[in-house]
Structure 1
Amino acid sequence: MVRRRLTNEEEALWDALTRSVRPLRPGQPRRAAVSATPMPLPPARTGLTPQARPAPPPKPAPTPAAMLDSSWERRIRSGNLAPEMSIDLHGHSLAAAHNRLNQALAQALAQDARTLLVVTGKPPKNSATMGSARRGAIRGEIGHWLETSPYADRIASVRVAHPRHGGDGAIYLILRRKK
């Protein structure tokens, strides 16, 4: 490690700091001036104060799974999944759709629903036919909304709906059970 000299400003700050500190043992003299080269830290003393342990990193929030167990997969593929709640977002502005999605998630979780059908509208076939209106905007934003939702940790999986429930124009939200 390359050592450098303290600037005049740093020396003044250090001096002010050392004048404001009370010694742990009042009988021992304070260190007076700052030396030109920083002093190495004294070795850690045991028994004086317990060393604070760093807080463990927070558990990452569970993310939606790409695949569920075989019974869920079979029900989704066959179209036998019966959503307990549904919400239709297409035709709403982005802000209104985002708000309605959060309300629907809160309601579904309050009612202990496991599946929520979210109708977003079909994505545009290609960008040339979009014209001046932005088609598929809700569909384009819903992934981000779900990731940043206050209920993101309660979503077990996000799946494209069966054609019976809207196909590409809808998604299933499979919600986790209460903890």
Structure 2
Amino acid sequence: MATVTPLPGATPAKPVAIEKPAVGSAISRPAAVAAKPRPSVPRKIEALKKTAPGTTLDGGWDRRLARGSVEPDATVDLHGQTLSSAYRMLDAALDRSRARGDRVILLITGKPPRRESERPHARGAIRAAVGDWLHASRHAEAIAAVRGASPRHGGTGALYIVLRRPRTTPKF
């Protein structure tokens, strides 16, 4: 500041003294900062795992699904269904697949519209609702993953639903 000259007509401001805290003393924070509530952080990883079905596959599964080398045990085609009938079909298919011990279900929802100009309000209602259906389903705990299908099995118009292995109790 010693080398700076003020502009003509400007009054120089008085320097503000800054107090340095003594060594070893705690720095006090303003009351506004101290009163802010901290966001709560989930303590357990299990709480995060329960937020959405379909996040527990290893890399091997993901690679095989992406290549299309996994053959689905069951196929559910929702073309031409209403939202309510599609939900009932999906729920019944999950029931059957769990009872049979299937691991992979191919869910065909149909491809989204090609361009906005063709059908400006079309958005694929069934495809948009499938994630919510699976999350709220009574089968949510049995779903290990939901992934997009490979082009061999329908590409953007289909999904893989990977079910968890059924738990078996040991016989003594």
TM category (shorter chain) comes to: 0.5 to 0.7
Alignment match of 2:65 (pick from 65, 72, 76): 76
Secondary structure of the corresponding residue to residue 127 of structure 1: coil
2:90 — aligned with what?
101
1:177 — aligned with what?
165
C-alpha deviations, 1:122-170, integer Å up to 9, x for none? 11234332256x4511101111111111101100000000001000000
1:144 — aligned with what?
132
The answer to whether the 8 A contact 2:55-2:144 is kept is: no
Deviation, structure 1 residue 65: 3.8
Alignment match of 1:120 (pick from 109, 113, 119): 109
Distance in 2, matches of 1:88 and 1:135, equals: 18
Q: Which amino acid aligns with 2:158?
A: A
Q: Which amino acid aligns with 2:129?
A: E
Secondary structure of the corresponding residue to residue 117 of structure 2: helix
CA separation of 1:145/1:68 partners in 2, compared to 1, >3 Å: closer, same or farther?
Answer: same
1:35-50 alignment runs, 5 A limit: none
With the length of structure 1 as denominator, give the TM-score of the two structures: 0.62
2:150 — aligned with what?
162
CA separation of 1:111/1:95 partners in 2, compared to 1, >3 Å: closer, same or farther?
Answer: same
Distance in 1, matches of 2:143 and 2:55, equals: 12
With the length of structure 2 as denominator, give the TM-score of the two structures: 0.64
Distance in 2, matches of 1:117 and 1:79, equals: 11
Superposed CA RMSD? 2.1
